[in-house]
Structure 1
Amino acid sequence: MTSHRHPYDTLGGATLVTSALAAQEAGVVPATIRKWVQLGHLRPSGQQGRSHLYRLEDVFAAERATRRAPRRRTSATAGPASRPTSAPLG
């Protein structure tokens, strides 16, 4: 007999959620959760089948850390370069 786990499962008092629920709680898309893991801002705290489980506390901490971090401007995001305008000919 297998028991079905509630999506807001607990382990040692910590609330564990799937990446989809973690994204919903943080107000981001699931790809953002995967990106936070890739960048080292978030680590899975468990596993349910093939799905990783995350502590809500860790998800919210990663969300705060990434919202606080200043964004680096690159040439792709900086927009058009400012060029000196020439005086009209005439």
Structure 2
Amino acid sequence: MADLVAPVRVSPLIKFSRWSLLLLGVSYGAIRYSSLSKKENAIREIEAKQKAIREVKLAQEKERLAKEELAELARAAGVEPLP
């Protein structure tokens, strides 16, 4: 095996700066994640309310279209459609 070279000495100021910036980045990310998740939760609540309204409208539209289709089929078959 090759001889290992002694590690390079790094200035304590550089080490401190690296660790400080790492911790600063981690804390910034945690704060940013927290704020974005709060916004996203608010958006999801609004979308859930809108989804319920949209589903009701779609069900009504589907029922209306089904009645129209049955009436059209009855007319095509020569039968008087139900009211």
Common fold: TM-score over 0.5: no
Bigger fraction of residues in helix: 2
TM range (shorter): 0.3 to 0.5
Bigger fraction of residues in strand: 1
Larger radius of gyration between Structure 1 and Structure 2: 2
Instruction: Report which structure shows greater RCO (CA 8 Å, sep ≥6).
Output: 1
